Structure 1
């Protein structure tokens, strides 16, 4: 998993509330267990017509937002089913951070496990960042995980809270496998001790 330290990028404004996981990645794309390749189908039913043509008015199809790395969203982002493909699709598209007033719990947890930083902010702060994001590709937002701040393109800085353990994992690029591998020497020692004490096991 890639480390998350500081991110300065284009923020796409998505003021819709209750953006669910089926909107993020529709069910027909859940057959794969590969984490790569899903970015092209992110928000598929909102981005494309039934015959596969781009819908020009959708935010990620607009030229200024095609390389967005941040989404500023309405309330209750990631609700619906628990599919881990939702953060996979976001990450594969290039999204590393989502800012909202609230997230569905399972989606929120899955983001951390996949290197995406979900940030909960008060409505008044999200409103400021949403307005900033609407200015397009020249309005770049900076997210600093170390200092736990989000800075708008005009220099307004806002603090956010994050669980210290999750912060540690993101800063060091540790998913569940990475956390286990940190203990590999202890695991090896235990297995050697077990083999000596119970050679029949």
Structure 2
């Protein structure tokens, strides 16, 4: 088990439907060649005005919301282009889970593959969670990944996870780490493949070697 098997933190309500990945992580923050510094760009045009000044009325800019780790969001969260930076930015900002009625398919895959937990709940429960989140004196949320349950002041809910996603969270694996747990099977498949079709092994390297040989 890892610490990701249980997520506890304060929640904030983000009442925006169809929030797309360009809004979550604007294109000007995609210039780097690594994942660092993306928390600065998260929801930039919502957090800052055209002059780069903080918007004090935006929920994540309020002092009492500092350290929020769970978002309760509108429907179709993460729609738009397939940019994994949106997931990385949320995580670097400190967000560990997002609850909503629905998520864009590609964003869902990117998030779960990076162990940003997405919880899908019915509209009535999301509305109750948002109401709980608005009360800063009682906006704590506990998510038990092993039991697949979420609890707040007025919500006790169960949610579904694919078995592989549940395993990844409980064992602290990303998609590459999950693939590597099958290393023995991968090696066995490769040995069998080359034994049955040896002429295909290193065919690209053999072809390049022949092409480099001087012509008579």
Equivalent position of 1:29 in the other structure? 29
Equivalent position of 1:182 in the other structure? 181
Task: Output the TM-score relative to the length of structure 1.
Answer: 0.89
Deviations 1:77-122 (A, max 9, x none): 1111111111011011111110000111001111101111111100
Per residue, is there more helix in 1 or in 2? 2
Deviations 1:117-168 (A, max 9, x none): 11110000001100000012642111111111110035x4111111112111
Query: Distance in 2 between the 1:157 and 1:34 partners?
Result: 39
For the pair 1:164 / 2:163, whether they are aligned, the reply is yes
Indicate the larger mover: 125-134 or 136-145.
136-145
SS at match of 2:4: coil
Query: Distance in 1 between the 2:54 and 2:137 partners?
Result: 20
Q: How does 1:69-84 map to 2 (within 5 A)?
A: 69-84=69-84
Query: Where do 5+ consecutive residues of structure 1 fail to align?
Result: none
For the pair shown, the structure with the greater C-alpha radius of gyration is: 2
Task: Output the TM-score relative to the length of structure 2.
Answer: 0.83
Q: How does 1:95-134 map to 2 (within 5 A)?
A: 95-134=95-134
| CA-CA distance at 1:191 after TM superposition | 6.0
Query: Distance in 2 between the 1:193 and 1:108 partners?
Result: 35
Query: Distance in 2 between the 1:37 and 1:11 partners?
Result: 23
Equivalent position of 1:47 in the other structure? 47
Change in 2 beyond 3 A, CA 1:193/1:109? closer
Of structures 1 and 2, the one scoring higher in RCO (CA 8 A, sep 6+) is: 1
Indicate the larger mover: 99-108 or 190-199.
190-199
Provide the aligned length of Structure 1 versus Structure 2.
Answer: 199
* Kept after mapping to 2: 8 A contact 1:10/1:137: no
* Kept after mapping to 1: 8 A contact 2:132/2:138: no
